[in-house]
């Protein structure tokens, strides 16, 4: 992690979706409100100040009941129109100061001078005045129901919410349900909540903050727009996974508040927070504060806690912030304006965050801090959870540095390799690694093979008598992913790069045949027999590398060398969650099938296709990389209208799963020389000990196992092939 990660996270635009007004008061604001009171209004004002200071002390371990007590005490300070106004303005400005650019405040209206309207109007006035001051933050308001106050009071708040939701829809966007869960039955409020939904307003409900499975299930079946906390939905805290399953099916975003949960002792530690479980199961979430004043935190601090606890990269933290915009209750045009702010910051900080290393160098030691990354990667995978680890160095690699500053900044090649198919060779200009200054290879030949399911397309480099190598691309990519790398490899290699079924220019599987991991193993063997290869090598990127690893274990006598780029193996499936993953994959596949039946994809512009892939890979692909992949991965269907060539069913996760035990068994069978190249900012699919265990298993039968780390993102082999070409070329010496 970069030393200035705290500074960057503070400067990063963020969206706060779960902030209680009274719980967000800082001690400085509380002091202002105390100063408003006189001895006549509060005789024990100094004692009140002492109690609040203690309860707001982050070192004081509070129970959930104590947290509710804090609100009761603070409510004594916000009991006038002026104090509510001051509280609102201060909270907004404090969030804006840490670059929160979107804020949803929530508050439970209380009667001021006999009317809850007075309370709410004071809050709205504070929001309006901040807008007039041009404070750089968009603020929305949720009125809250406090369940401890009963249904009758809740009805008043619901009616006011609906009224203001129409009269001041620029501010009031919906309703929050909060309060002590033990004080009432949530189903008593359902008619009121449905009334809010029917009025077209948004609904968020505090859910499973404490253990109550029946209530949590009832709320999830109500299908609010978001839920708060969701702590006791995690199977790590309750015996049954049925609530998690229900949450996965509903796809309801969750407002996660780590420090709040820790201080209130609903989770034992940050490391045990259910964020990790939700991440693993693809549940959408937003990082929030809950009550930044009560818990002595800030949204930037929560981002830093998440980053350090789970070893997430800065680019991953930015992706969390970016995705949170999808879950806001802002209007669509407001979301678009917010995205422009986020993108502007991303552009200005591209080098610091999305390209966290300023130089393209090979790592020659093990001095990286543990890092982790998350990829909501709709282009490479549906949802991938990835955990990074320290580099395991099996050999010393000479460190090289790219010379061109623009190259450093954008991770782009200084010169684009010519693609003139009439030429018999290609040249790489100065600036490349010494071993690849000038490389001569045969120009690629396009091929189409007839298979059982249809045609399989691809391209072939190198002389007919060269050593056979099969190159396998990653999920949703195509053989173009190797276009910049293969010309830099030794000229004595006969490299076949194939578009696997449903990808690129290859035909998809028939409608009644789903895609599975083992299909790739079968596909590799089909190609080996087609070319009459008794012995050959494999190069695979991402899923292609995982399939190559599996094939090398199934057919160890056929593979002499194995190169895996940014992957070690297929993500193992835990026995206890296999039914959930299969269930989710089935639902997703059926949904995609229905969409296919309904009609073709809506065409998009070329620029939109590029943006979709760049954003979908969080910057792993850039425009030039897209141009290369789109030669096989995009087709024109109308004037300035394009669709992807890949089978839409590939957007669903495969329906076959592989246990860790099976993969370890196959790893013991691999006899080929193995080279694993990890890209430092690419996805890591498992915990460190799992990677190490697999690599140790490879060593039992393989005489040569190398693991090296190269700076870059998931598509470094495509965008900066020179950073790895010399490593691979050295690996293929002495064939």
Distance between CA atoms of residues 543 and 537, nearest Å: 16
The first and second tokens of residue 641, run together, are: 């209208």
Distance between CA atoms of residues 206 and 17, nearest Å: 12
Coil vs helix vs strand at 691: helix
Given a contact cutoff of 8 angstroms between Cβ atoms, the answer to whether 177 and 153 are in contact is: no
Contact residues for 152 (Cβ-Cβ < 8 A; gap 6+): none
Cβ–Cβ contacts within 10 Å for residue 617, how many?
A: 24
The first and second tokens of residue 656, run together, are: 């076959």
Q: What are phi and psi of 326, to 5 degrees?
A: -65, -25
Given a contact cutoff of 8 angstroms between Cβ atoms, the answer to whether 536 and 511 are in contact is: no
Catalytically annotated residues: 209
The first and second tokens of residue 206, run together, are: 């505090």
Given a contact cutoff of 8 angstroms between Cβ atoms, the answer to whether 734 and 495 are in contact is: no
Distance between CA atoms of residues 461 and 423, nearest Å: 12
Q: What are phi and psi of 176, to 5 degrees?
A: -115, 140
Cβ–Cβ contacts within 10 Å for residue 558, how many?
A: 18
Coil vs helix vs strand at 12: coil
Please report the DSSP string for 657-671 in residue order: ---HHHHHHHHHH--
Distance between CA atoms of residues 731 and 345, nearest Å: 41
> Which strand (E) or helix (H) includes residue 102?
strand 100-107
The first and second tokens of residue 335, run together, are: 């979301």
Nearest to 719 by CA among 646, 635, 629, 633: 629
Which residue has 């789109």 as its token pair?
630
């Amino acid at each position: 992690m970069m030393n200035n990660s705290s500074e960057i996270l503070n400067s990063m635009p963020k969206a706060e979706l779960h902030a209680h007004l009274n719980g967000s008061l800082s001690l400085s604001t509380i002091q202002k409100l105390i100063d408003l009171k006189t001895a006549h209004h509060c005789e024990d004002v100094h004692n009140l100040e002492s109690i609040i200071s203690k309860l707001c002390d982050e070192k004081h371990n509070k129970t959930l009941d104590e947290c509710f007590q804090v609100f009761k005490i603070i409510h004594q300070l916000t009991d006038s129109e002026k104090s509510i106004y001051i509280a609102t303005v201060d909270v907004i400005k404090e969030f804006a100061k840490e670059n929160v650019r979107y804020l949803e405040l929530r508050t439970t209206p209380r009667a001021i001078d006999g009317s809850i309207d007075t309370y709410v109007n004071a809050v709205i006035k504070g929001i309006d005045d901040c807008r007039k001051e041009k404070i750089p933050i968009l603020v929305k308001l949720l009125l809250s129901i406090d369940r401890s106050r009963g249904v009758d009071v809740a009805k008043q708040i619901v009616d006011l919410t609906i009224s203001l939701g129409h009269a001041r829809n620029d501010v009031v966007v919906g309703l929050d349900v909060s309060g002590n869960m033990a004080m009432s039955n949530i189903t008593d409020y359902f008619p009121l909540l449905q009334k809010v939904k029917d009025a077209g307003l948004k609904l968020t409900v505090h859910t499973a903050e404490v253990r109550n499975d029946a209530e949590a299930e009832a709320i999830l079946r109500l299908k609010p727009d978001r839920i708060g906390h969701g702590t006791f939905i995690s199977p790590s805290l309750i015996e049954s996974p049925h609530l998690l399953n229900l949450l996965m099916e509903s796809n309801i975003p969750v407002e996660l508040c780590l420090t709040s949960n820790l201080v209130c002792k609903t989770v034992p530690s940050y490391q045990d927070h259910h964020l990790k479980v939700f991440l693993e199961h693809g549940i959408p979430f937003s990082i929030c504060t809950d009550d930044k004043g009560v818990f002595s935190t800030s949204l930037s601090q929560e981002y830093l806690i998440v980053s350090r606890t789970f070893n997430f990269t800065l680019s991953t933290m930015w992706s969390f912030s970016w995705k949170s915009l999808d879950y806001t209750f802002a209007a669509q045009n407001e979301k678009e304006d917010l995205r422009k702010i986020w993108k502007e910051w991303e552009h200005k900080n591209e080098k610091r965050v999305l390209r966290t290393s300023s130089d393209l160098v090979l790592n020659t030691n093990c001095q990286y801090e543990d890092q982790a990354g998350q990829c909501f990667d709709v282009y490479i995978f549906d949802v991938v959870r990835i955990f990074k680890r320290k580099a395991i160095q099996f050999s010393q690699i000479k460190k090289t540095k790219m010379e061109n500053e623009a190259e450093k900044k954008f991770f782009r090649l200084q010169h684009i390799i010519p693609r003139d198919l009439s030429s018999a060779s290609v040249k790489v200009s100065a600036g490349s690694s010494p071993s690849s200054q000038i490389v001569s290879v045969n120009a690629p030949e396009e091929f189409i093979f007839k298979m059982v399911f249809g045609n399989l397309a691809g391209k072939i480099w190198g002389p007919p008598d060269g050593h056979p190598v099969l190159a396998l691309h990653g999920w949703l990519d195509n053989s173009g992913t190797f276009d910049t790398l293969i010309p830099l490899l030794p000229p004595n290699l006969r490299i076949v790069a194939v578009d696997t079924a449903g990808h690129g220019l290859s035909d998809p599987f028939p409608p009644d045949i789903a895609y599975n991991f083992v299909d790739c193993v079968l596909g590799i063997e089909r190609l080996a027999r087609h070319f009459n290869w008794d012995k050959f090598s494999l190069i695979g990127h991402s899923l292609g590398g995982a399939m190559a690893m599996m094939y090398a274990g199934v057919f160890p006598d056929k593979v002499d060398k194995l190169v895996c780029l940014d992957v070690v193996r297929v993500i193992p499936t835990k026995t206890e969650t296999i039914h959930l993953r299969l269930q989710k994959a089935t639902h997703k596949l059926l949904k995609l099938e229905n969409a296919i039946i309904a009609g073709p994809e809506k065409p998009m512009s070329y620029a939109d296709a590029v943006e979709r892939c760049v954003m979908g890979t969080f910057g792993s692909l850039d425009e030039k990389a897209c141009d290369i992949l789109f030669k096989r991965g995009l087709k024109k269907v109308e004037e300035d209208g394009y669709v992807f060539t890949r089978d839409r069913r590939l957007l669903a996760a495969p329906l076959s799963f592989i246990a860790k035990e099976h993969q370890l068994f196959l790893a013991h069978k691999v006899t080929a020389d193995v080279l694993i190249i990890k890209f430092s900012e690419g996805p890591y699919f498992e915990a460190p000990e799992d990677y190490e265990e697999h690599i140790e298993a490879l060593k039992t039968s393989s005489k040569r196992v190398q693991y090296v780390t190269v700076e870059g993102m998931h598509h470094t082999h495509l965008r900066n092939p020179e950073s790895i070409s010399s490593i691979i070329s050295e690996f293929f010496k002495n064939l």
